[in-house]
Structure 1
Amino acid sequence: MTSPQNAIMHSATVPCRVNLIGEWIDFNGGTVLPMALAPSVTVDIQANQTTSDRISSAQFEGAQHVAIDAPATHHWADYVRGALQYARKQAWISTGQDVHVESAIPVGAGLSSSAAIIVATLKAVRPPSASVTDTDLAFAAKDIENTFIGVPCGIMDQMAVALGKPGTALALDTRDCSYELLDMPASWTIVVAHSGLQRALSDGRYRMRRDECLEAARQIGTEFLCDANPDKLGGLDQALASRARHVISEGKRSQEAVVALRAEDRARFGHLMIESHNSLRDDMDVSVPGIDQLVADAVDLGANGARITGAGFGGCIVALVDPAILEEWWRDLKARHPKIARIA
């Protein structure tokens, strides 16, 4: 990067996350249970005293040199630029910035690499004197993703990467964003495996599912679809009824999963994960055959539970495994699915 020698470098590192359970309910009034993972993104920023932002990365193809007020261009650097534009509105920065992004988070894996980049950029430029909490940054990051990027996501990903710590799960009530960090039991191993199937939220499928959930809530007459009475789904068309069934049942599963985690009941938690995957496959219609087989084999080989994680359509699975069988289990799963890669 080319910046004045007296410019101060600011850096921030933010982890990725996996959602253990509670999928597609963060905008429906549900409780979600994401866990921070060790793979992270680091953003280094220096003021360049120009009217352009210059953004680069060793992991993402194509550096970008663009005016500070330019709109999004469907480029990976939009996640950085949206955060920089927000920071200028807050008067945290003024001129253009030289930004370099280093990321160990697989793209398109459903591990919130986009939220991590936005939150890391905001953390890097947040003034030390500003009374801005990490929760405030999470809400800002959600707004950036909704308005600048154009993805109508909920608040889970941003809260998870802004507040989460590896080895803990974030029990987050998405209605009021109250939360509790829960330690993962030593007798549990959480495995995140990338299927090798890429996915993207910008292709319209995420928005379609989200709109279906909101329309189902509107037709039923409830603010939060998680609150809906299953007996009232008969008046919905087949697609809306299926989405509502998933949301209602997933809301209950996630609350039961928090209880199971506190009780260190690995068998119960694993069973809830399996039920969650089946619902995501059949009612939410966000899984794909390759993921379904990977989940089935993970359970067949001894995992207590496994499920697709993230918005779906590819990406990663998350599995709950007894540490005593972990090495043998992974070896056998890898033999059945040679293209998978362990993320955590």
Structure 2
Amino acid sequence: MTSTPQTTPRERAARGFLRAFGTEAQRLSRAPARVNLIGEHTDYNEGFAMPCAIDRDTVVAAAPRDDDVVEVLACDIGESLGRFRVGDAADVSGSPQWLRYVQGMVAVLKAQGLAVGGAQLAIAGNVPQGAGLSSSASLEMAVGQALAALNGWQLAPKAMALAGQKAENVYAGCQCGVLDQMSSALGVDGHALLLDCRSLDVQPIPLPEGTAVLVIDSKIQRGLVDSEYNLRRQQCEAAAAGLGVKALRDVDDALWSRRGGELDLVVRRRARHIISDSRRCELMAVAMARGDLREMGRLMRESHWSMRDDFEITVPAIDALAARVQDVIGDAGGARMTGGGFGGCVIALAPVGLVDEVRSAVAMDYRSPDGREAEVHVCAASGGAGVLA
């Protein structure tokens, strides 16, 4: 969800709530977006990924109702108003896409035996939609925190993340892994997260001092539900089945050498990306811990090439944007596409002294296919979802 520069998501959510419902909100919750530094599409293959939550948020202003009706104001989508009953939340057939995420969270949490009553919710954010920063997971986690606060229960961050993943899989129609929700729920200020997508263990790793996190919005929107995201997941599952393993996480060098050539050519390339990118995450964690931006940059470049050539989820304009940013950074950092693919953002890690040069190069040399300039966001690694004072 996008913002106007004059107001914060918190202000817009609170003011929208007052306009729509005629009273002040009783609770405010927020959840961050995330950017994935490396490890793309590895989550549903039970591999490793390295995201970090960023200081772009979705905020929910909330108050309880005395019945089972949930009213939802989308402040950033023309102040659209949605309405459903708690007992009917699972029926999303007639709902706009944005409302399905809210209904999904209500349905999943209620099915887990948690108390979910009627509510009034106003939602605002400054997470660009369709840019690969996971506005959907940010929305799910903020809604989950609001429902917990209104109904007097708590849910562990990992459990909330899994609830958000299920809401997105079942009710929003995107077969995503749990990377996005885990990042939003468990973010740590100043740190990236090495996420083991099988065990769901999370290891916070501090970003090197003096490193800028640049998120460059290409202005090429992509909708994961409408893209080939689900097809890529099917191809990865086919590769795992062909290799006789539970998930591509389980493929070692010996197995790949012995049986990789038996796979269909396209499926083999898809698997090669997943296997190599998961390993790059572990190497990235080592390099980051020792502050080695040169090695981190090398891994990021290789990851982009793998997404481009083996997984085929980049587009020419994104390739050009990542290459131009890399030209400016040189060996002092790295740039790659981030997110599910087919548009979205480029993530770059670079010394803070190069930020202005990157901005200038992007402004001068890049336009989206429809002629728009990219937007460069200088972000900070953020803490995870929670209730605001």
Above 0.5 in TM-score?
A: yes
Residues 46 and 88 of structure 1: CA distance in aligned 2, closer, same or farther (over 3 Å): farther
Pair 1:133-2:156 in alignment: yes
Q: Secondary structure of 2:213's partner?
A: strand
Which residue, out of 315, 337, 340, partners 2:344?
315
**Separation in 2, partners of 1:91, 1:173:** 27
Corresponding residue SS for 1:123: helix
CA distance, structure 2, for counterparts of residue 240 and residue 91 of structure 1: 41
Offset, 1:204? 4.6
Q: Do residues 160 (structure 1) and 187 (structure 2) align?
A: no
Counterparts of 1:272-311 in structure 2, within 5 Å, are: 272-303=299-330, 304-311=333-340
Find the partner of 1:80 among 102, 120, 127: 102
> What secondary structure does 2:329 align onto?
coil
Unaligned 5+ runs, structure 2: 1-16, 368-372, 379-389
- Give me the whole-angstrom Cα distance separating, in 2, the residues matched to 1:13 and 1:163: 13
Counterparts of 1:177 and 1:93, CA distance in 2? 26
The residue type equivalent to 2:245 in the other structure is T
User: Which of 28, 31, 53 is the matching residue for 2:48?
Assistant: 31
Match of 1:132, SS state, is: coil
Which residue of 115, 124, 136 corresponds with 1:92? 115
Q: How does 1:85-234 map to 2 (within 5 A)?
A: 85-89=107-111, 90-94=113-117, 96-127=118-149, 130=153, 132-228=155-251, 229-231=255-257, 232-234=259-261
Percent of paired sites with the same residue: 32
| 1:119 aligned counterpart, secondary structure | helix
Q: What's 1:45 paired with? A: 62
- After superposing the two structures, state which structure 1 stretch, 157-166 or 227-236, moved more: 227-236
Which one-letter code corresponds to 2:198 in the other structure? R
1:63 shift after superposition: 2.2
- Paired position in structure 1 for 2:11: none
Contact 2:76 2:125 (8 Å CA) reproduced: yes
Counterpart check, 1:252 vs 2:279: yes
Residue 330 of structure 1: how far off its partner (Å): 1.7
Distance 1:121 1:106 in 2: 18
Matched to 1:236, the amino acid is: L
Q: For residue 129 of structure 1, report the CA deviation from its aligned partner.
A: 5.7
Cα shift at 1:126: 1.2
Of stretches 144-153 and 104-113 in structure 1, the one that deviates more from structure 2 is 144-153
How far off its partner does 1:58 sit? 2.0
User: What is the CA deviation profile of residues 153-191 of structure 1, one whole-angstrom value per residue up to 9, with x for unaligned ones?
Assistant: 111111100010342101111110111111111132121
List runs of 5+ in structure 1 lacking aligned partners.
none
Which secondary structure state, in structure 2, belongs to the residue aligned with residue 60 of structure 1? coil
Q: Give the secondary structure class of the aligned counterpart of 1:76.
A: helix
1:64 aligns with 2:85: no
Please give the TM-score of this superposition, normalised by the length of structure 2.
0.83
Name whichever structure is richer in helix by fraction: 2
Are the equivalent residues in 2 in contact too, given 1:10–1:125 (CA < 8 A)? no
Would you say the 8 A contact 1:230–1:248 is kept in 2? Answer: no
How far, CA to CA, are the matches of 1:36 and 1:131 in structure 2?
21
- 1:55 aligned to 69, 72, 75, which one? 72
The one-letter code matched in structure 2 to 1:305 is: G
Q: What is the CA RMSD across the aligned residues, in angstroms?
A: 1.9
Q: Do the aligned residues in 2 keep the contact of 1:37 with 1:165 (CA within 8 Å)? A: no
Displacement of 1:323 after TM fit?
1.6
Q: Relative contact order (C-alpha < 8 Å, sep 6+): which is higher?
A: 2
SS in 2 for 1:223: coil
Q: TM-score with structure 1 length normalisation?
A: 0.94
